[in-house]
Structure 1
Amino acid sequence: MNFIAMDFETANGKRHSAVSLGIAVVRNNQLVDQFYSLIKPDASIEFDRRNIQIHGITPRDVADAPSFPEVWHQVQQFYTPEQLVIAHNAPFDNGVLKASLQHYGLQPAHYLSLDTVRTSRRLYPELPNHKLNTVSEALHIDLEHHHNALDDTVAAAEILVKQSNQFGVDVLKPLVKVI
């Protein structure tokens, strides 16, 4: 399989408040490249204490980080109509991308999306839940720092590779959505 995996962390409950992005590039079921960046949200964004507790990113951490439009300029080539983009809880990450693009007046991205929470629910119904750390542990995937955008991205990529190797790509195709 060829795809990219993405994961965003946000400053608060607003979808356009991205503070980090991780991307993993997978070609022929092999992780071939990674990208990680902190993101400085615009000045109107306030950090929620709960979000900081989850991911550990503070306003000080992003003070000198690039803005979302600067980060988008570096990664937009990955988001094309024929590109599969996966995430664990893809509705969240797709929502952050869409809201951030809208917030900054950038063109919408069009790509194929697959949610590894959905694939995990379908393929591993016996798990107590389908959170990233639970699925990673069940599949013996090392998730070093949960809620670090790059570590979460790499874990989601490894989950999909294992699922495609174990169950075949045809089982996953019906779960792909057009964004």
Structure 2
Amino acid sequence: MHTIPPILDGDFRFFALDVETANTQRGSICQLGIAGVRHDNTIETWTSYVDPQTDDWSCTHIHGITGDHVLGAPLIADVLDLWDAPLMGAVIYQHSGFDKAAIVAACRTYQRDAPDWTWRDSVQVARKAWPELKGNGGHGLASLKRHLNLSFRHHDAGEDARAAAQVVLAAEAHTGVPQPA
């Protein structure tokens, strides 16, 4: 049986969030990662497997997560109950619109309102900071990993959340412009 890890504690400038899904249904979240960026720009990461209650694991080839990994893991509704209040009023970066859409779809599955969080997109931040990447690798995490010399395991929700936070921090350093937080 999986237990939900304790949430990140303390004061954070902003968060980054990433999900992995079991299949092409956006609500089939099987892993959730949250990276909190403190005021000194250190990053703490929280990750949990999530049981999407599905037999369709057609995205395992992308992230390696299987039904066996999530046996006994919490449901997304339980994880959102834990994180809803701590993330209320905080800025949350996602790398593209997929993660927010997945949270909304998962909430629809459980017939609950989606959290009213303040979402930002680290892809948009990267496009402004490094316009030269357009048509030259793009602004996806894999391209930014090479361009910014980041080190992370792509398609792990915690690692990707940390990478999205690092993209925002790198853009701030590169442009000298603090991002909304």
What's the TM-score once normalised by structure 2's chain length?
A: 0.84
Residues 1:78 and 2:86 aligned together: yes
Distance 2:63 2:73 in 1: 16
CA deviations over 1:31-56 (Å, ceiling 9, x no partner): 343210000012xx23243x101000
* Structure with greater helix percent: 1
What is the CA distance between 1:138 and its match in structure 2? 1.0
2:30 alignment partner AA: V
What is the CA distance between 1:148 and its match in structure 2? 0.5
1:53 counterpart SS class: helix
What's the TM-score once normalised by structure 1's chain length?
A: 0.85
What is the CA distance between 1:23 and its match in structure 2? 0.3
Identical-pair percentage: 29
Aligned to 1:97: 103
CA deviations over 1:87-134 (Å, ceiling 9, x no partner): 111x10000111112211223211221111122122212222111021
Aligned to 1:142: 151
Matched ranges for 1:1-179 at <5 A = 2-42=13-53, 45-49=54-58, 51-80=59-88, 82-89=89-96, 91-127=97-133, 128=136, 129-143=138-152, 145-169=153-177, 172-173=179-180
CA deviations over 1:141-166 (Å, ceiling 9, x no partner): 212x1100011111111110111122
2:42 counterpart SS class: strand
Distance 2:57 2:73 in 1: 18
Gaps of 5+ in 1: none
1:47 alignment partner AA: D
Aligned residues: 167
Would you say the 8 A contact 1:4–1:78 is kept in 2? Answer: no
After the TM superposition, which of the residue ranges 65-74 and 7-16 deviates more from structure 2? 65-74
Distance 2:75 2:114 in 1: 17
What is the CA distance between 1:74 and its match in structure 2? 2.1
1:100 alignment partner AA: A
Gaps of 5+ in 2: 1-11
RMSD between aligned residues: 1.9
Distance 2:40 2:102 in 1: 26
